Amino acid sequence: MEVYRRHLRVHAYPVIDRKTLAALASRPSTVGKWASGIEASPNYKRDIMQTVTAVFAAAVDDGLIKRNPMKSRQVTKPKREKKKIVPWTADRVGTVVAALDHLTPRYACTGVVGATSGQRQGKIFGFSPDDVLWDAGRIKVMRQIKEVRGGGANRLIFALPKTKETREFPAPAALLRGLKAHMEIWPPVAVTLPWGSLDGEPVTVRLFFTTPYGMPLDASVFNRLVWKPALAQADVIPAPVGRRYAAAPDDGMHALRHHYVSALLSAGESLVTAAEFIGDTLMVTAETYAHLMEGDGSRGVAALDRSLGGSVDALRLAV
């Protein structure tokens, strides 16, 4: 939700906010001129335009306007660039976790969870000791904390993971040690939130990570007060100007997920295994991470030499 609000607040409202929906719908050229003037990378520009398109689509559904001006031929979306993920190194992950530990030790283990289990931010915030099979060395992904709009404000709920499916997979011993050390200092806190929607059934879950007041973590607040300061201390992003930190589209907590997948693949695990662990489809995982497995074929050729070289050498070829 925060990213959508930023799209509108920073890029849309300053230009088109003072014009009525009807005026914008009747003059698509106005929206087209605005869109062409967005100063951003092609991918981010498309994201901004998609957010504004969704706003107009909602207005059409509500009968406020008859057509979506973003669908006009006068509005041209840039082609999305296929950007290859460059995963953080283990050293960078360690530096960021150390910065979290130095600035806000209460949340240092969020970085450990992200880097050693590949969970998205909302799932890290919704992670519970009851999701850990301590003796078996496995963890379960059962829920996320999701931000929704209601009553004129943003509110938090529990919800299923993004794929709507729970999953279970092995956990590194380092993760289990880190969680145990975290719980010794900050015991789990029982948090009650509605499930699935604002009017959903209240559900109580013991969480690893909460505010000092026992409240669930809000992503926008966490990113502003915890994550970005740690990135700045780790020299991943520049120091803030006043209280404002530079945008870090490639250095959100999702960077920890990328590191996790890259570690799996570099250790020889398959894309199928990586997809299963992170809860993405094989197609999405391959599109995002297959380039990390690229090679010149030398390993395959060497393997063929080892497996078939003796048989070839033993051939008695007729002349």
Band of residue 318 on the pLDDT scale cut at 50, 70, 90: low
Asked if residue 8 has pLDDT above 80, the reply is no
User: Rounded CA gap, 207 and 8, in Å?
Assistant: 33
Share of the chain above pLDDT 90, in %: 50
Asked if residue 319 has pLDDT above 50, the reply is no
Give the residue with greater pLDDT, 305 vs 267: 267
Cβ count within 10 A of residue 134: 12
Question: pLDDT tens across 108-117, in order?
Answer: 999 999 999 9
Question: pLDDT tens across 122-160, in order?
Answer: 999 999 999 999 999 999 999 999 988 776 677 999 999
Question: pLDDT tens across 275-300, in order?
Answer: 999 999 898 898 889 888 876 666 66
Give the residue with greater pLDDT, 144 vs 302: 144
Q: Is the CB of residue 76 less than 8 Å from the CB of residue 45?
A: no
Question: pLDDT tens across 181-221, in order?
Answer: 999 999 999 999 999 999 999 999 999 999 999 999 999 89
pTM: 0.76
Instruction: Let me know if 219 is exposed, middle or buried by CB neighbors in 10 A (0-12, 13-18, 19+).
Output: buried
Q: Is the CB of residue 155 less than 8 Å from the CB of residue 196?
A: no
Sign of CA dihedral 49, 50, 55, 59: positive
Sign of CA dihedral 221, 230, 88, 260: negative
Asked if residue 28 has pLDDT above 70, the reply is yes
Give the residue with greater pLDDT, 315 vs 60: 60
The separation between CA 39 and the C-alpha centre of its own chain, rounded to angstroms, equals: 24
Asked if residue 7 has pLDDT above 60, the reply is yes
What's the confidence (pLDDT) of residue 18? 64
Residue 25 tokens read as: 């719908």
Sign of CA dihedral 167, 172, 178, 184: positive
Give the residue with greater pLDDT, 46 vs 253: 253
What's the confidence (pLDDT) of residue 115? 95
Query: Mutual orientation of helices 282-289 and 271-278 as an angle, nearest 10°?
Result: 110
Asked if residue 230 has pLDDT above 60, the reply is yes
Residue 216's Cβ-side half-sphere holds a number of Cα atoms within 13 Å equal to: 28
Question: pLDDT tens across 62-84, in order?
Answer: 888 888 888 888 888 877 767 78
> Checking DSSP bridges between strand 132-133 and strand 138-141, what pairing results, if any?
antiparallel
Give the residue with greater pLDDT, 150 vs 51: 51
